[in-house]
Amino acid sequence: QVQLVESGGGLVQAGGSLRLSCAASGGTLARYAMGWFRQAPGKEREFVAAISRYGDTTYYEDFVKGRFTISRDNAKNTVALQMNNLKAEDTAVYSCNAGRDHPPSGTYYPDAYWGQGTQVTVSS
């Protein structure tokens, strides 16, 4: 069973950048498509971005397109989320997930493997 651990969160001013990382252990990351989700206080968890098993397909929610980039390194069992031009509304706990994707429909399906999350706070 794969375990996921996120890192890289912190406090940043609006317009700044952060790079989140998700490290996997107990399994081979290349078996899974990977996704990033976030949850702000008092809100539901929402999808941010995902990447196919070998990185050839990426998916982004509209509110991060052009600002966030998801990538993966299967040799290192890691997935990253580069976040640029951060806004106050990006403040949330960000979690990674190991799941499945369906490129023809552009859909990512989260499975049961979640990290504990990392806090991102953007000050305006």
CB 10 within 8 A of CB 121: yes
- Give tens-digit pLDDT for 1-58: 899 999 999 999 999 999 999 999 988 899 999 999 999 999 999 999 999 999 999 9
For the cut 90, the answer to whether the pLDDT of residue 95 exceeds it is yes
For the cut 90, the answer to whether the pLDDT of residue 70 exceeds it is yes
Could you give the C-alpha distances from 30 to 21, 34, 60, in angstroms and in order? 16, 9, 20
